[in-house]
Structure 1
Amino acid sequence: MNVTEAVKSRRSIRQFIDKPVDRSVIDRVLVTAQRAPSGGNTQPWSAVVVGGDELARIAAAIKAKAQAAPMGEGAEYAIYPKELDGRYEEQRRGVGKAMFDAIGLERGDGAGRITQMAKNWDSFGAPVQLFTYTRKYMGPPQWSDMGMWLQTVMLLLREEGLDSCAQEIWAMYGTYMRELLGVDDDHIFFCGMAIGYRDADDPINNFDVSRVPISENVKFLGL
């Protein structure tokens, strides 16, 4: 698989099959992903890879926390800015509608949507989670570096025939996630990433995820 194929075939998978992921594959991906760029070679990302009984423990704890505080508790950053508007908000709402339409959930089916959202805590059936965090004093450039590393990981997973879903929803309980992972207060929790093999037949993995034409967000000068 070349880079273009990996980019085009990567998508956020929300239903995985029951198939284990070999630890050696994860090791290989993460070793190669260390080549991701970062300003001044700071490499500001840190992560915990979790599976098996440990992942079950974390999932159970977050499910209990979500029942007690369904709107979140201890979030350390805003997942979306309050000022999100225009095409940004339209795109956010649009992809949500496309996903719910694909699995036959009506707009008024609040219980169904909550049930679907709760599948995040089971990693959509994936056997591995990659939880990412960084030092609290890191600024926007280092967060950008962290994103480049995560994208590198996702593309390398595709090269290995694996799939992923980056999940910022875990950040709704950021301080609790750090407690569950044994991460100290000098750090800030960023996100999870479910890792496994996609269920290629599930409708939730097959709806169209549109992208704006580059004319809407790229300008050429002198070319």
Structure 2
Amino acid sequence: MRETPPVPHPPEAVEAAILSRRSVRAFRPDPVPPALVRRLLAVASRAPSGTNMQPWRVYVVTGAARDRLCDALVAAHANPSAGHESEYPYYPDQFFEPYLSRRRKVGLDLYGLLGIARGERERMHAQHARNFRFFDAPVGLVTTIDRRLAVGSWLDHGMFLQSLMIAARAHGLDTCPQAAFAPYHGVIRAHLPLRPEEVVVCGMAVGYADEGASENALATERMAVDEFAAFLGDEPGDGMPFVEPS
């Protein structure tokens, strides 16, 4: 029987990687070593998946390949009349509470930091276009899933993405998962060797945060544990001090 290896770092180190993960929207140009990107992907591949199906595929773009893809995506974004649509619904057709309020707040908070007022559509459009430059991160990822798979495999794919982002934090890197890429799967197919059965799930920027950028000061709120969890037996944690993460 295979033994589970011990965690070499204290629990606080793991928690710190999780708690410090954020969606960074401005990166420094500092290169990320290719060997480190490979290491992060190898670590993330240990994410759980039903019957070990591993329903993820990743395209890593850097340098000239990244620039060509970004140029094409920015051009497509500038032409909304082309009717780009995602191959899967990320959001509901109609937002409702409490999700509508949370969505509005994070948008207002972000644009407030950027000095973009409500109704400044051109500036909002320009900010959204920064997605397609991976927010200037030196490494861009595009992840896909086989369209023949079911909901459970999409859950597995999400666990892979989270594992990747936490592993990146452990190495001092930052990330931004980007659903904005999904509607432009046709453009992406022209630049990356996607198979017909592959659905573009998202993009992801990987690099080092530009801490001087105002947008990176965004601090999103989270619900307290008692707002989303119900304890139906003996409440866990007796004898262990617990401080709600801020």
TM-score by length of 1: 0.95
| Long gaps (5+) in structure 2 | 1-8, 235-246
| Long gaps (5+) in structure 1 | none
Q: 2:132 aligns with which of 115, 121, 139?
A: 121
Partner of 1:180 in structure 2?
191
Q: How many residues align?
A: 223
- Please report how far the alpha carbon of residue 210 of structure 1 lies from its aligned counterpart in structure 2 after TM superposition: 0.5
Partner of 1:193 in structure 2?
204
Partner of 1:169 in structure 2?
180
- Please report how far the alpha carbon of residue 69 of structure 1 lies from its aligned counterpart in structure 2 after TM superposition: 2.6
Q: 1:19 aligns with which of 30, 37, 41?
A: 30
Counterpart amino acid of 1:11? R
CA distance in 1, matches of 2:83, 2:101: 24
Counterpart amino acid of 1:218? A
Q: 1:179 and 1:74, CA in 2 relative to 1: closer, same or farther beyond 3 A? A: farther
CA distance in 2, matches of 1:166, 1:100: 18
RMSD, aligned CA: 1.5
- Please report how far the alpha carbon of residue 58 of structure 1 lies from its aligned counterpart in structure 2 after TM superposition: 0.5
- Please report how far the alpha carbon of residue 139 of structure 1 lies from its aligned counterpart in structure 2 after TM superposition: 1.1
Instruction: Give the ranges of 4+ consecutive aligned residues of structure 1 lying more than 4 Å apart after TM superposition.
Output: none
Greater shift in the superposed pair: 74-83 or 55-64: 74-83
Q: 1:210 aligns with which of 218, 221, 227?
A: 221
Matches within 5 A, 1:37-116: 37-69=48-80, 72-116=83-127
CA distance in 2, matches of 1:65, 1:114: 12
Partner of 2:241 in structure 1?
none
CA distance in 1, matches of 2:186, 2:126: 24
Q: 1:66 and 1:134, CA in 2 relative to 1: closer, same or farther beyond 3 A? A: same
CA offsets 1:39-84 (integer angstroms, 9 cap, x no match)? 1111011110111000101011112222223685142012211133
More helix by share: 1
The answer to whether the Cα contact below 8 Å between 1:33 and 1:153 also exists between their aligned partners in 2 is yes
Greater shift in the superposed pair: 212-221 or 53-62: 212-221
CA offsets 1:192-223 (integer angstroms, 9 cap, x no match)? 00001001121201122101122222212123
Percent of residue pairs bearing the same amino acid type: 36
1:185 is paired with a residue of what secondary structure?
A: coil
Greater shift in the superposed pair: 207-216 or 35-44: 207-216
